[in-house]
Chains A and B, each alone.
Chain A
Amino acid sequence: MDLTSPNALIRAERITLDVPIYLQRERNARGWASMLFGAAFDSPSRSLTRILDDISFELHEGDRLAILGRNGAGKSTLLRVLNEVYRPTSGKLTVQGSCQALLNMSLGFNGEATVRENIFLRGIAMGLKSSYLRHQIEPILEFSGLHDKVTHRLRTLSSGQKMRLGFAISTSIQNDIILMDEWVGAGDADFMIKAKERMQNRVGGAKILVLASHSIGLLRNICNKGIVLEQGRLVHAGDIVSSLKCYHDLLADLRAQKIIPLAAADGASGAQIYGAAESITMRDGAFVLKGWFVNTEGAVPGGVVMEVQGRRYIADKVEHHRRPDVVRHLGLSDEDCGFYATVTVPGARKLADLGENVQVFGGDSPEHADAPLRIAPEFLVQRPPAGAKR
C-alpha cells in the first residue's frame, strides 16, 4: 500500500496555541490530614497559557527539521500541532502528504484484547485498510518477535514487548512525513539492530522528517534544517549548524544568568555527555588521550576515565583546549571542548600493553564519568594491534 503523495509539504503560518491548564490551589498543609483533605476537595483553577506563539516555517521535500529547545519550550506541543491533534488557536497549518507520528508507540492498545486483534485495531486507527492489514499481520509479528504471543491478551505482555509491537505497527508502512519526539528505539540488543535499520529506512524514505531531540550529534547527522524554540516562541530558523549554534548560545546565556545551573560538580545536572576520543600517545610514562566532549546543554564537562581490560583509571589531569572544527560542526558556543587527558596505568609502559579492550568515558566529574565517548578509527590505528606480538 502506497500512502505517498507527489508533493509533501508542511507550511506553518503564524501558529499560536493557547491551552487551558488546571492548577491545584497552593495550600499550606499543616499535616498529612489537611494535605489529603486539600487533595480531595480543592477544585483546580483554570487559566489559559500560551504554549506556542506566532510560529511560522515551511518545509518541502527533502527537509529534515530539528526542533531544538529546552524542556518545556513547546517542542512536543509543536509536533502535536503538526500532527493535527491540537488545532492552532490562530494561524494556519497546511500539511500535504501522509503523516505518521512516532511519539508514544506503546499506547493505543486494548489491554484485554489479543495481540492479533490489537494489530488490527491499531492498523485501522492508522488508516490502513483491513484487506491490506491481513497480509501485514505476519510481518508485524515477525518483526516484533511475538509470534508465539499472538493469541495472548495484550495485558500480559511486558512493556518492552508492547513497545516492540507498537514500533512494528507504527513503522509498518512508509509515510511522506515522519514526526518524532526523540529517536525511537529501545529494547534488547537484537531488536535494537532491527529497529535501527527499519528507522533508517523509514527516515530515508520519508520526504519530510521533523525530529525533536536533545541528542545533538544525532540531530547534526540527520537533519539539515533547524528551528529553536524558547518559551513557545521561535527564536531562530535556519540550517542545522546555525540553529545548533543559536541553541547553544541560548543555553550559555541562560547559564550565565544562572537560570539553569552550571554543570553540577556532583553530576546531577541530568544533561547527557557525548564526544569522541581521537588519539592516544605516550608521554613521560603516562598515556595522553586527545579528544573532545560536551554535554547536551552545550557545556563542557570535566571528568575523563579510561577503562582498560575492565578496570577504570581516572585521568590525573584534564586540560581543555580550543577545537574550532568541532565547534563549527556542532554549532557549539563553548570553544574549549577539546581535551588532553593524562592517564597513568600502572604496569603499562607502552601502548601495546593496553590491549584491545580500551574504552573512554566522560562525565561532569571523574566519579560520574559514565558516558562512553566514541572511539575514533584512528585511535586504534596508532596503537600496534595486540595480535602483532604473536
Chain B
Amino acid sequence: MNSFWREIRESLRHPEFWAISSWLDIVVKHRKSSFGVLWLFMPSIIYVWGMGYYFAVAQGKTMAEFSVHVALGSMIFKTLMSSIVESTNVFGGNQSFIMDGHMRLTDYLLEALAKSFFYSCTYIPVTVIALLIFPNLDLHGLLWMPLALVVVYLNALWITVVFSLVGARFPDFGQFMGNTSIFLFLLTPIIWYPDQMPADSLRGQLMRFNPFYHLVTVFRAPILGEHVETFSLYYIGVMTVLGLALATFLYRRYARFVPLWI
C-alpha cells in the first residue's frame, strides 16, 4: 500500500501527538487574554451578525433569511481556508520535532486539519442560532450534512497535503495564501447569492471555476432547500478524486525532502 495512506492510517490510529499539539497550539494562543478561548468565537459573530447584517440590508433581505446563508457558507470557507493557511506552515512550525526524528509527517498534516476543525467548530453556536431563526429549513436537507462534511474533509485533506509540501519548499507560499484569502472569500458566494452571477457571464464563470463555491454550495444548498447544480456535483467528484491522487503522488515523491527544505 502507498506510503501516504499507510501513514494516514497509522496517524489516525495513534492520535495522541497531533491531537495534543493542535489543541495546545490553539488554547495557549489565547492564554494571555482575559476572555481566553472566547475570542475564538468572535470571527463567527462578526462575519454573520456584523458583516452579514450589513449585506443583508444592502440586498434587501431579512436577517432571518440571510444569516444562515452566511453562517453555513463561512463555516465551510473557514474550514478550507484554515486548512490551507495552517498547512503551509505546519512543517516549518514543527521543525524541531521533525529534526528530532518524529518522522510520520501525516501527524503534522492531521494537526493542521484538526486545527481547522476546531476553528470551524467555533461557528457552531452562531450557525445553530441562524438555523433556528431561518423560516424554511429543509429537514431532509439536514440529513445530507454528514455526507457533505465527509466530502469537504476529504478535500481539506488533499489540500493540506499539497499545500504543506508546497509551503515547506517555498516559504513565500504561506504569505501568498494569507493575502489571497480575502479575495477568495469575496469570490465565493457567502455574503451574496450565487444566482446573482448568471452562468453565461464572465463573473459567473469565474465563480464556477472557484472550488470553494462548489464545496460551500453542496453543503449549504440542501439545508436551505436550494437547488444544487449537477455541474457542481461533477466538479466536486472529479476534484476529490484528482486531488487525493495528487496528494498521494506528491507525498510519496516529496515527503522525504521535507527535513531538507525546512
A153 to B28, CA, bound (A): 9
CB distance A113 to B96 under 8 Å?
no
Interchain nearest-CB distance for B108 vs A (Å): 11
Interchain nearest-CB distance for A386 vs B (Å): 51
Interchain nearest-CB distance for A271 vs B (Å): 28
Query: Taking the complex as formed, is A34 at the interface, i.e. its CB lies under 8 A from any CB of chain B?
Result: no
CB distance B100 to A101 under 8 Å?
yes
CB distance A124 to B100 under 8 Å?
no
CB distance B96 to A104 under 8 Å?
yes
CB distance A110 to B24 under 8 Å?
yes
**In the complex, what residues of A have CB within 8 A of residue B96's CB?**
104, 107-109
* Number of A-B residue pairs at CB separation under 8 A: 64
Query: Taking the complex as formed, is A160 at the interface, i.e. its CB lies under 8 A from any CB of chain B?
Result: no
CB distance A112 to B260 under 8 Å?
no
Interface segment out of the listed A78-86, A193-201, A338-346 = A78-86
CB distance A125 to B17 under 8 Å?
yes
Residue of B17, B256, B260 touching A20 (CB-CB under 8 A) = B260
Interchain nearest-CB distance for B28 vs A (Å): 4
A99 to B260, CA, bound (A): 21
Interchain nearest-CB distance for A90 vs B (Å): 12
Q: Give the nearest-CB partner of A118 in chain B.
A: B24
Query: Taking the complex as formed, is B181 at the interface, i.e. its CB lies under 8 A from any CB of chain A?
Result: no
CB distance A113 to B28 under 8 Å?
yes
Q: Mark A125-152, 1 if CB is under 8 A from B, else 0.
A: 1110110000000000000000000000
A121 to B261, CA, bound (A): 24
Residue of B32, B99, B260 touching A104 (CB-CB under 8 A) = B99
A129 to B14, CA, bound (A): 9
**In the complex, what residues of A have CB within 8 A of residue B103's CB?**
84-85
Q: Give the nearest-CB partner of B261 in chain A.
A: A20
Residues from 103 to 149 in B contacting A, C-beta threshold 8 Å: 103
CB distance B99 to A117 under 8 Å?
no
A276 to B158, CA, bound (A): 62
A117 to B31, CA, bound (A): 14
Interchain nearest-CB distance for B37 vs A (Å): 13
A126 to B96, CA, bound (A): 12
**In the complex, what residues of B have CB within 8 A of residue A379's CB?**
none
Q: Mark B58-81, 1 if CB is under 8 A from A, else 0.
A: 000000000000000000000000
Known contacts A110-B24, A113-B28, A121-B21: A19-B260 contact under CB 8 Å = yes
Residue of B29, B97, B99, B101 touching A112 (CB-CB under 8 A) = B29
Count chain B residues whose beta carbon lies closer than 8 angstroms to a beta carbon of A.
22
Query: Taking the complex as formed, is A87 at the interface, i.e. its CB lies under 8 A from any CB of chain B?
Result: yes
Interchain nearest-CB distance for A163 vs B (Å): 14
**In the complex, what residues of A have CB within 8 A of residue B28's CB?**
110, 112-113
CB distance A87 to B256 under 8 Å?
yes
A157 to B208, CA, bound (A): 53
Q: Give the nearest-CB partner of A20 in chain B.
A: B260
**In the complex, what residues of B have CB within 8 A of residue A125's CB?**
17, 21, 97, 100, 102
Query: Taking the complex as formed, is A191 at the interface, i.e. its CB lies under 8 A from any CB of chain B?
Result: no
Known contacts A85-B101, A87-B256, A99-B101: A117-B24 contact under CB 8 Å = yes
CB distance A86 to B260 under 8 Å?
yes
CB distance B101 to A108 under 8 Å?
no
Interface size bucket, A side? Answer: 20 to 34
Interchain nearest-CB distance for A166 vs B (Å): 10
Residues from 198 to 255 in B contacting A, C-beta threshold 8 Å: none
**In the complex, what residues of B have CB within 8 A of residue A101's CB?**
100-101
A20 to B17, CA, bound (A): 30
Interchain nearest-CB distance for B68 vs A (Å): 36
CB distance B25 to A85 under 8 Å?
no
CB distance B100 to A108 under 8 Å?
yes
Q: Mark A70-99, 1 if CB is under 8 A from B, else 0.
A: 000000000010011111000000000001
**In the complex, what residues of B have CB within 8 A of residue A124's CB?**
16-17, 20
**In the complex, what residues of A have CB within 8 A of residue B25's CB?**
110
Query: Taking the complex as formed, is B259 at the interface, i.e. its CB lies under 8 A from any CB of chain A?
Result: yes
Query: Taking the complex as formed, is A183 at the interface, i.e. its CB lies under 8 A from any CB of chain B?
Result: no
CB distance A103 to B21 under 8 Å?
no
A129 to B31, CA, bound (A): 27
Interchain nearest-CB distance for B91 vs A (Å): 12
**In the complex, what residues of B have CB within 8 A of residue A20's CB?**
260-261
Query: Taking the complex as formed, is B151 at the interface, i.e. its CB lies under 8 A from any CB of chain A?
Result: no
Residues from 39 to 88 in A contacting B, C-beta threshold 8 Å: 80, 83-87
A129 to B17, CA, bound (A): 10
CB distance B16 to A130 under 8 Å?
yes
Query: Taking the complex as formed, is B98 at the interface, i.e. its CB lies under 8 A from any CB of chain A?
Result: yes
Query: Taking the complex as formed, is A120 at the interface, i.e. its CB lies under 8 A from any CB of chain B?
Result: yes
Known contacts A84-B101, A84-B103: A113-B24 contact under CB 8 Å = yes
Interchain nearest-CB distance for B118 vs A (Å): 16
Interchain nearest-CB distance for B109 vs A (Å): 15
Q: Give the nearest-CB partner of A112 in chain B.
A: B28
Q: 14 more A-B contacts (CB under 8 A) besides A124-B20, A125-B97, A153-B31? A: A83-B100, A83-B101, A84-B103, A85-B259, A99-B101, A104-B96, A104-B99, A107-B100, A112-B28, A113-B28, A117-B20, A125-B17, A125-B100, A125-B102
Give A contacts to B, CB under 8 Å: 19-20, 80, 83-87, 99, 101, 103-104, 107-110, 112-113, 117, 120-121, 124-127, 129-130, 153
Can you identify 8 A-B contacts, CB atoms within 8 angstroms? A85-B99, A85-B100, A110-B21, A112-B32, A121-B21, A124-B20, A125-B21, A153-B31
5 A-B pairs closest in CB distance: A112-B28, A107-B96, A108-B96, A87-B256, A83-B101
